[in-house]
Structure 1
Amino acid sequence: MRHVQLIAISGSIGATLFVSIGSPLTHSGPLGLLLGMAFWCSVVWAAANCLIEMTTLLPVDGGFVQLSSRFVDQSFGCALGWNYYITQLSLVNFELTAIHVIVQYWDADLSPAITISWVLVLVAALNLWKVSWFGEVEFWISITKVILIFALTLYTFITMVGGNPKHDVYGFRFWKNPGVFGGRTAARKVVQAIFDSASWAVFAVVGPDYLSLISGEVKNPRRIMPKAFNSTIYRIIGFYIVGSLCVGVVVSSNDESLLGAIASGAKGAAKSPYIISMNRLGIPVLPHIVNAFVLVSCISTGNGFIYTSSRTLVGLSQRGQAPKIFNKTNRNGVPYVAVIVSLLIGCLSYMSVSKGAAKVLNWWINLVSSTSLVTWAAIAITSMRFRKGLSAQGLMHILPVRGHWMPYSSYWLLFWSVLVAIFLGYYVFIPGQFTAQDFIFNYGSLFIYFAILIGTKTYDWFVKKNHVWVIPAKEIDLTTGLDEIETYTEACEAHRLAQKHSAGNKVSNFFFRE
């Protein structure tokens, strides 16, 4: 349980929450940032409600990617799997590029090739040995993120009430001037501000999808996964909502230092609202400590993305949608071929050597946002077909756990994922702002997804003579592997009850709800 909970945190918290969050603050104002973040968090929570039902019933390798082929259609699952693989690889490259930017806070002349190379070697060592080693290392590294979040939240409260070298009791001063929406008063500008914040949150807020992916490698998933999914709401509130509130308190949305740092592509955490605040208040040393913690966070997140990308490739391989070689494992059960391929594609981060890290980071952010929206929409559709199959076959009673507000959570997830995907890159259509690169990175993933979907469906139609568009509800496979999972669950529960727990185990069980 402690591995699962911390991996979920690790996969969802990186440089974005501590550094990049300054950008949506300047575009949306403190309240606009908070509202946009809260809105998109509700969409991600809806995804968790969809995934908890499918994953706890059938905790399989490849998670929702494999289940989409099983509940909707092989072509649909193939397109989703490759789209999600692109998402994870984009995140790998983003984190590798971001790590170099963070290291440059101390050494501005350091070559990106050096930083990226040693991180790739470190991540390879953590992912190629065995999954229990990966989980243990990730657990301890991820604790630094939790410490940093609590420390920055405490920093916000202490300094806003006057606990700073200048004894400045600034409170919610920046909400009054320049205003809750950064000086914007027109209704259209306010809506645009909230949407810009929500669009950024699409990139920043993740987590439930990782839980689904790792379910096939979790001990006693029927016991652990429900608690892990249900804790999503607490992570959302504790990290994203509180984090958005804090940055809107510590710095003004029109702060010249913040705007200048963003415009110039300042290195490391120099454009973090917290660092801007510390410099304004004359607090020494602390910015270096924060930058060090952010660096560890990015390494942890990049490590987690290598894991999820490789497991996505394994899921595709198991369904015959990728070469079988990706399913090969070493003696410890690690799919080393899939891991190595993901690491090699991570070398795309070397583009920052010639193009500039700031520009490359924006490319990855746009690509991740668009592919993530496709993933969320596909998860909603998969959940709908899953429930349709359960209802048609009279099997609704076999669900071990039911998600909150179902099936309405799936409707909410699908509607907003599609709508935001359409308008995500609206700015490229504004006269004078169109660039081919921005258009490709905002909408290219949609074309890739539908190209794979149409290509595989055409192959099925004409070569395999499979003329079924979507698997009929009464034919959806809901039972294959179910007996094995039930037997395994019984054995896990018997082992858990017979096991003697040390004092350390009891403390761990208390904090991680095992």
Structure 2
Amino acid sequence: MTQTPLNSQPYDQLTASADDISDKNITDLFHRIIDSFKRAPQSENVPIDMNQQKERANLINNIEKDETGLHRTLKNRHLQMITIGGAIGTGLFISSGTALATGGPGALVLDFIIIGFMLFNVCMALGELCVVFPVSGSFIAYGSRFLDPAWGFAMGWNYALHKLIVIPLELTAAGIVINYWTTSINIGVWITIFLVFLLIINLFGVRGYGEIEFYMSIIKVIAVIGFIILGIVLVFGGGPNHQYIGGKYWIHPGPFANGFKGVCSVFVTAAFAFGGTEMVGLVAAETDNPLKTIPRATKQVFWRITIFYVVSLALIGCLVPYTSPRLLSGSSSYDASASPFVIAIEDAGFKVLPSIFNAVILCAVLSVGNSNVYGASRTLCALAENGQAPKVLAYIDRKGRPLSAVALSIIIGLLAYINCANVGTQLFQWLLALSGLSSFFTWGSICACHIMFRSAWKAQGHTLDELVFVAPLGIVGSYFGLLLNILCLIAQFYIAVSPIHGSVTARSFFEAYLAVPIVIISYIVWKIWKKTPFMRPSTIDLETGRRMLNVQQLIDEEKAERRSWPIWKKMFYECC
């Protein structure tokens, strides 16, 4: 019997077979999508036994999932760009205008240098901790482990509330930025579009977050570098107006506005601008090789602070006088028309460039919104895993997405529609007051955790030779960082009780300082309710979640790898 060749089958049979295969593929894809939303297998949520960790020491960096079920899919390029451009947002591009008007160019640069130095020590301390303990929640979990579970609860919820509240604010800000071009479309339409955009990104998991931040960070970095080059040209008389500016605005109206109070008031703006730098700690649990990527990312903090903030803001002080009415003329603190960057470009006589830079500001706003959804969801998930939030928020699906926490973050984003009403602005001022000083609590806690970690490390018989990455200034840098955070809180208290304009009222005080009593009350309530202990160096847990590594072998391997590098790469590695 002769077998009929495939190509001799009737056309309708071939078509039917192709349709069956297509339907099967669609059905399989549908089932895979549905299955991906199911909870990660229980085995993925059980901490790895320490003996198994020791046996797998040489393979530890290749683990694809965190013990909680989060996926380690962030690559080195993602973390590098998140670290470089993650904190470049509305704080730098827009809020710096209000700070310039309040404190003057001298206060602006001085405060950013102080906060930058403080943050350098914070990031170095966080980098050291994350390399040893790249656990879910990072500094949220460290607060409970190294200080006090009650403090971890208070600090973690303060940080989570800050991230949650900023999400609807950034959605509103994105709509306001678009008003630079057109006001014919209701801002609620833009809020809806951007909210759906954030939801879709976060449904792709950490890889989606990483990819979006990678490209948006590239845009922001190019924009800042381009502005620095343009600013230098304008200061020395380039540009359409060909007017030499030099440092005349530093002389008249002068470097400082409102004296010492002006300097104190700018600290909060600087902290807001740098907010998000600590995200390198949150992504540690979802980084494929934290041993190499985290130290490299944290070492870039100094250069980012120096180039992107200090240099660009020093040029802003040369190009825009702090007496310019446009700095405070915007309808909102997020209004791009009040951006000193846009003002400087427009004053120089450029026609199209302001619109281009406004588009960069829009990218920055959406980037901050995306980062806040990520940060809020991971913080809530970590709190739930530590028993400090409802357990439902610890739900992680098979793709490593903390679905419940992401859903809550997006739902909170719906509050952006309140800004369409007149009462919305007042409501959000009070919501922001709940966590307005979040960055100082977070950064100070990281420094305190590093101090306690070093004390426990020494008390339990370990040496610094066992650490792959050591903070350059060590425990001294963390003491400096902690002290500066405390001084910033004191400075903000001074402004709260003695405002620059007008007299103090109960409303103005609590709008500026409500976060402090809320954190203290949260700490005391959890302390009494759970009877949590104060951590002591001799009893602190240094094993759970710790990377068990042959440090000397890894160091030798890295040195051998670096010897094969060309000279330019060695120099770049040492500097960056």
Class of the TM-score when normalised by the shorter of the 2 chains: 0.7 to 0.9
CA distance in 1, matches of 2:424, 2:184: 13
Write out aligned runs for 1:64-83 (5 A): 64-83=139-158
Unaligned runs of 5+ in 1: 183-188, 499-506
2:86 and 2:217 in contact (8 A); partners too: no
Q: Is 1:231 aligned to 2:300, yes or no?
A: yes
Match of 1:164 in 2: 239
Match of 1:478 in 2: 542
Residue 215 of structure 1 and its aligned partner are, at CA, apart by 0.2
Write out aligned runs for 1:500-511 (5 A): none
Residue 57 of structure 1 and its aligned partner are, at CA, apart by 0.8
Match of 2:3 in 1: none
Match of 2:57 in 1: none
Q: Is 1:149 aligned to 2:213, yes or no?
A: no
Aligned counterpart in structure 1 of residue 338 of structure 2, from 257, 268, 271: 271
Q: Is 1:211 aligned to 2:280, yes or no?
A: yes
Residue by residue over 1:417-448, the C-alpha shift from the partner in whole angstroms, topping out at 9 and shown as x without a partner, is 22322331534434853344433332222222
Aligned counterpart in structure 1 of residue 362 of structure 2, from 288, 295, 299: 295
Match of 2:393 in 1: 326
Match of 2:412 in 1: 345
Q: Is 1:59 aligned to 2:134, yes or no?
A: yes
Match of 2:468 in 1: 400
Match of 1:186 in 2: none
Aligned counterpart in structure 2 of residue 127 of structure 1, from 202, 205, 212: 202
Aligned counterpart in structure 1 of residue 440 of structure 2, from 368, 373, 379: 373
Aligned counterpart in structure 2 of residue 312 of structure 1, from 365, 379, 388: 379
What one-letter code is carried by the residue in structure 2 that aligns with 1:96?
Answer: L
Write out aligned runs for 1:375-454 (5 A): 375-397=442-464, 398-430=466-498, 433-454=503-524
What one-letter code is carried by the residue in structure 2 that aligns with 1:335?
Answer: P
Match of 1:8 in 2: 83
Match of 1:46 in 2: 121
What one-letter code is carried by the residue in structure 2 that aligns with 1:196?
Answer: S
CA spacing shift, 1:435–1:257, aligned 2, 3 Å: same
1:98 and 1:298 in contact (8 A); partners too: yes
Superposition TM-score, scaled by structure 2 size: 0.78
What one-letter code is carried by the residue in structure 2 that aligns with 1:68?
Answer: G
CA spacing shift, 1:229–1:305, aligned 2, 3 Å: same
Residue 358 of structure 1 and its aligned partner are, at CA, apart by 6.6
1:101 and 1:357 in contact (8 A); partners too: no
SS in 2 for 1:477: coil
Match of 1:28 in 2: 103
1:363 and 1:438 in contact (8 A); partners too: no
What one-letter code is carried by the residue in structure 2 that aligns with 1:63?
Answer: S
CA distance in 1, matches of 2:334, 2:482: 37
1:7 and 1:304 in contact (8 A); partners too: no
How many residue pairs get aligned? The number is 489
CA spacing shift, 1:109–1:358, aligned 2, 3 Å: farther
Superposition TM-score, scaled by structure 1 size: 0.87
Q: Is 1:250 aligned to 2:325, yes or no?
A: no
1:14 and 1:294 in contact (8 A); partners too: yes
CA distance in 2, matches of 1:288, 1:512: 38
What one-letter code is carried by the residue in structure 2 that aligns with 1:200?
Answer: T
Residue 47 of structure 1 and its aligned partner are, at CA, apart by 0.8
CA distance in 2, matches of 1:120, 1:435: 36
Residue 275 of structure 1 and its aligned partner are, at CA, apart by 2.2
CA spacing shift, 1:389–1:240, aligned 2, 3 Å: same
What one-letter code is carried by the residue in structure 2 that aligns with 1:146?
Answer: V
Residue 257 of structure 1 and its aligned partner are, at CA, apart by 3.5
CA distance in 2, matches of 1:362, 1:172: 36
What one-letter code is carried by the residue in structure 2 that aligns with 1:404?
Answer: P
Residue 265 of structure 1 and its aligned partner are, at CA, apart by 4.1
1:90 and 1:367 in contact (8 A); partners too: no
Which range is displaced more, 373-382 or 312-321?
Answer: 373-382
Residue by residue over 1:263-301, the C-alpha shift from the partner in whole angstroms, topping out at 9 and shown as x without a partner, is x54884211123222332321111111111110111111
SS in 2 for 1:157: helix
1:374 and 1:446 in contact (8 A); partners too: no
Residue by residue over 1:69-119, the C-alpha shift from the partner in whole angstroms, topping out at 9 and shown as x without a partner, is 112222221112111101212332332222122111122353332222111
Residue by residue over 1:319-347, the C-alpha shift from the partner in whole angstroms, topping out at 9 and shown as x without a partner, is 11112221222231111111011111122
CA distance in 2, matches of 1:360, 1:269: 22
CA distance in 1, matches of 2:527, 2:302: 37
SS in 1 for 2:383: helix
